Amino acid sequence: MQVNSTKIACILVTLLSTNLHAQSPSFDCQKAQGEIETLICQTDELAQLDNQLAPLYQKLISQVDANELKLIKAEQRGWIKGRNDCWKADDKLQCTKDNYQTRITELQIAAGAVEVPKEVNYQCQADKPFNLIVYFYNNTALPAAVFHYAGQNIPPTTPQLGLLTKTASGAKYVAQNTSLWTHQDEARLEEYGQKPVICVYQQISPN
């Protein structure tokens, strides 16, 4: 039985056209505003990232009270504005991708979508010695570390999330106004406007 070659060609063209734009983001592309939202609608990789982010955000807001909800929604609006500002970047695609991966990492941790790793403790020698507690996340969109510290005369600090950045040796996690550099059994904590503090890994005996 012979099949009309023109018919086959039409079917192939239809399938290819469908596959080229098979992925749609979580928002309505007919209402896309600006260059970056249009780019997301036209780029499968970005649309996939948007679809990965959306349920994480919904998971997080379903877990918080009314006051926290206001803060999280404001934070999300700020993130969207920052993402859309990627129209100013030389590489708009990479800028948008980086923004998505960073936000997805934040939401994965905040929403409890990934397993919490075992805490790692460091003893830090400063004018007032303190204990640094770190959780190293390697199963998030981007490798990250959540860390805070406290001491006898130092109240617990607000946990910070730092993202892994490229270094010649060791691992450096950069948070807002703070960075944590780890190498073997040492950690170096650098806070804006303060002297760096060297910390040493401390083995915690099981109870």
pLDDT, one tens digit per residue, over 39-67 is 999 999 999 999 999 999 999 999 999 99
- CATH dotted code for 119-202: 2.40.128
**What is the rounded distance in angstroms from the CA atom of residue 180 to the CA atom of residue 190?**
6
CA triple 83-87-93, angle to 5 deg: 75
Give span(s): CATH 2.40.128, the chain.
Answer: 119-202
The confidence score (pLDDT) of residue 8 equals: 52
The confidence score (pLDDT) of residue 205 equals: 66
95: tokens are 């800028």
Q: Which residues of the chain have pLDDT under 70?
A: 1-22, 205-207
The confidence score (pLDDT) of residue 127 equals: 86
Q: Does residue 93 contact residue 42 with C-beta atoms inside 8 Å?
A: no
The confidence score (pLDDT) of residue 9 equals: 47
The confidence score (pLDDT) of residue 6 equals: 56
The confidence score (pLDDT) of residue 18 equals: 42
